[in-house]
Amino acid sequence: ASYFSYRYYKPRLRAELQNEFESRFNERKWEAYQQFADILYEMLDKSGSRKFENELPKVIQRMRKFLSQLWVVGSDDVMKAVSDWFVYSSREKQLNESTSEGLIKLMNILIMMRKDLGYATSKVGPIDLLRTFITDLDEVLVKEGKSKVN
């Protein structure tokens, strides 16, 4: 009887432990992604699109502190988007390019996080999210010679 119990309960116990692990991991991921969204919200709320260059060093510093959490829980797509933004933000300082591209890259990180949390088929893009803060975004993009695509 004990052999049968062992063979029967071992897979169930393993599945329960796996579910508990995934639940805890997803909870940590949710908290980390929410913290990132809070950083973006504060930055956009304070600065808008015009003052972004002044706020960029502060945002980079906060994101660097936050990065250790992403190393642990961020999906591959999230980490790629973060890497793209860091490379762009370093290059932007040297070339003094438009701020909208940097903002779009920041919002793309948030889009990748949303997909990782289960919104895989969402049609919302970075520009859609930016429009919630920058109501004249389409005009800004036209002035910078960028299209209005997501």
- The residue assigned the tokens 């932007």 is 92
Question: What pLDDT is recorded for position 62?
Answer: 81
Mean pLDDT in residue range 91-101: 65
**Taking Cα atoms as reference points, which of 122, 118, 126 lies closest to residue 149?**
126
Question: What pLDDT is recorded for position 150?
Answer: 46
Question: What pLDDT is recorded for position 50?
Answer: 59
Mean pLDDT in residue range 24-32: 91
Question: Does pLDDT of 1 surpass 60?
Answer: no
Instruction: List phi, psi (to 5°) of 55.
Output: -85, -15
Question: What pLDDT is recorded for position 138?
Answer: 78
Instruction: List phi, psi (to 5°) of 93.
Output: -60, -40
Q: How many helices (H) and strands (E) does the chain have?
A: 6, 0
Higher-confidence position of 150 and 46: 46
Q: Is 75 left (phi over 0), alpha (psi -120 to 50) or beta?
A: beta
pLDDT, tens only, 39-83: 888 777 766 555 656 666 777 788 778 888 888 899 999 999 999
Mean pLDDT, all residues of the chain: 81
Question: What pLDDT is recorded for position 55?
Answer: 65
- The residue assigned the tokens 């040297």 is 94
Question: What pLDDT is recorded for position 117?
Answer: 92
Evaluated on CA atoms 114, 52, 67, 62, the torsion sign reads negative
